[in-house]
Amino acid sequence: MTKFEVTTLNEFILKSQMELDYKADGGFSHMLHHVGTAARIVNREVNKAGLVDILGEAGNTNVQGEDQKKLDIIANEYFIDAMHSCGEICAIASEENESFVFFDDEIAKNAKYVFMMDPLDGSSNIDVNVSIGTIFSIYKRITPEGSKATMEDFLQRGTEQVAAGYILYGSSTMLVYTTGNGVNGFTLDPSIGEFCLSHQLIKTPEDGTIYSINEGNYKKFPKGVKKYIKFCQERDSKSHRPYSSRYIGSLVSDFHRNLLKGGIFIYPEFENAPTGKLRLLYECNPIAFLAEQAGGMATNGEQRIMELKPSSLHQRTPFYTGSKNMVEKVENYLKKYGKDS
């Protein structure tokens, strides 16, 4: 019988923990282990969603004014519990909570990190069995250890992230993350209940043939975006155009496909969302970190996403990310034609 070498998430984390000083004490590895544990639990709930009463609306709205799905609340609670129990997180910010959640016990007060997340990205797709995901981001706290976390710990530039990633709940369940030394992907093997290394040191193509945008809002888009879409649709055999339009409506799903195949994800500002719709801290920054670590780009159309200074917990921003040449192209169109619709 042929023996296959399999590297689990925990084995990979332990092997990698000495790469940077802040991981050398093992606490960082312990924290990432708990991310994987929470992901497995949420995956279990997602997979049985059609069998029990956890589909549909919860009857509440979150701070974004969006209807909360029952699974939104479940995922939020599981991740908060898991990250609290790891003992390395002093506070958590989530899309589902108006303010951050700080932990008042002594262990948490002495913790070094804060955790930000969108616990269930693309949750409007839950009821129709379309891929959804979790996005997370980790920063070292600014306030002194031993004190309560404050908003200052969360309003950091994306360049200060020490780790970021996402979990994709799809035809297979994947955890993709970076600690600043490349992007690695792990696929959940349900037969052993472990995430196993399946995509090592992911590199996204510099060019792609996919553009992902909700074209239903086309008339409201900035002129530069409209011009870029027309460019994508023009026939040119040398540059493999027209490109394919692929839009799932789940940031994790759309980004993951483009990350592997090459492409661009676009969510500009428009009339109904004058500052954009995606959240800077727990959607755009972690995805931008992954994109850059894989050789891609992420901007707001003018400036690198990770250099933006946040001013509020739920701040929104226009978002352009994916293959480097494609993002540069749309930036040039925005510069040439402007942002007016």
The domain that holds 227 is classified in CATH as 3.40.190.80
What's the total number of domains in the chain?
2
Residue 229 shares a structural domain with residue 129: no
Contact of 119 with 134, CB cutoff 8 Å: yes
Tell me what pLDDT residue 58 has: 56
**Is 139 labelled a binding residue?**
no
Tell me what pLDDT residue 19 has: 61
**Is 300 labelled a binding residue?**
no
Query: Which of the listed residues 167, 199, 231 is the one where a domain comes to its end?
Result: 199
Residue 127 shares a structural domain with residue 269: no
Instruction: Decide if 205 is inside a domain.
Output: no
Tokens for 234? Answer: 């023009």
Where do the H-state alpha helices sit in 215-323? 223-233, 251-261, 285-293
Report the distance separating Cα 38 and Cα 100, nearest Å: 19
Instruction: Decide if 26 is inside a domain.
Output: yes
Tell me what pLDDT residue 60 has: 63
Contacts 24+ apart (CB under 8 A), 49-56: 49/126, 50/129, 55/126, 55/127, 56/127
Residue 246 shares a structural domain with residue 310: yes
Out of 42-46, 156-160, 325-329, least confident range: 42-46
**Is 123 labelled a binding residue?**
yes
63 vs 119, which has greater pLDDT?
119
Contact of 156 with 150, CB cutoff 8 Å: no
What mean pLDDT is predicted for residues 311-320?
97
Instruction: Decide if 192 is inside a domain.
Output: yes
**Is 121 labelled a binding residue?**
yes
Residue 308 DSSP symbol: -
Report the distance separating Cα 290 and Cα 267, nearest Å: 17
Residue 195 shares a structural domain with residue 216: no
183-228: per-residue pLDDT in tens?
Answer: 999 999 999 999 999 999 999 999 999 999 999 999 999 999 999 9
Starting at the edge strand that comes first in sequence, how are the strands of the sheet with 183-189 ordered? 101-102, 89-94, 113-121, 132-140, 161-169, 173-178, 183-189, 194-199
Report the distance separating Cα 164 and Cα 31, nearest Å: 12
Query: Which of the listed residues 171, 199, 227 is the one where a domain comes to its end?
Result: 199
Residue 190 shares a structural domain with residue 236: no
What residue numbers bound the domain in which 267 lies? 210-337
What mean pLDDT is predicted for residues 322-328?
98
Report the distance separating Cα 112 and Cα 178, nearest Å: 18
Helix (H) or strand (E) holding 62: none
Amino acid identity at 46: V
Residue 135 shares a structural domain with residue 264: no
**Is 283 labelled a binding residue?**
yes
Torsion sign across C-alpha atoms 166, 170, 174, 176: negative
Report the distance separating Cα 142 and Cα 165, nearest Å: 21
Report the distance separating Cα 167 and Cα 270, nearest Å: 29
- Where does the pLDDT of residue 1 fall: very low under 50, low under 70, confident under 90, or very high at 90 and above? very low
Report the distance separating Cα 77 and Cα 79, nearest Å: 6
Residue 160 shares a structural domain with residue 74: yes
Report the distance separating Cα 4 and Cα 11, nearest Å: 15
Instruction: Decide if 204 is inside a domain.
Output: no
Tell me what pLDDT residue 198 has: 97
Instruction: Decide if 50 is inside a domain.
Output: yes
Three-class SS state of 285: helix
Instruction: Decide if 185 is inside a domain.
Output: yes
pTM score: 0.92
Out of 11-25, 28-42, 83-97, 298-312, least confident range: 11-25
Residue 189 shares a structural domain with residue 233: no
Helix (H) or strand (E) holding 12: helix 9-16
Residue 148 shares a structural domain with residue 281: no
Residue 309 shares a structural domain with residue 264: yes
Tell me what pLDDT residue 48 has: 77
Sequence-distant (≥ 6) Cβ neighbours of residue 267 within 8 angstroms:
213, 214, 251, 276, 277, 278, 318, 319, 320
Instruction: Decide if 3 is inside a domain.
Output: no
Residue 117 shares a structural domain with residue 233: no
Query: Which of the listed residues 199, 229, 257 is the one where a domain comes to its end?
Result: 199
**Is 95 labelled a binding residue?**
yes
Residue 17 shares a structural domain with residue 42: yes
The helix, strand and coil proportions of the chain, stated in percent and rounded to the nearest 5, come to: 35, 25, 35
Tell me what pLDDT residue 140 has: 95
Report the distance separating Cα 108 and Cα 147, nearest Å: 9
Q: What is the CATH number of the domain that holds 157?
A: 3.30.540.10
318: left (phi over 0), alpha (psi -120 to 50) or beta: beta
Instruction: Decide if 304 is inside a domain.
Output: yes
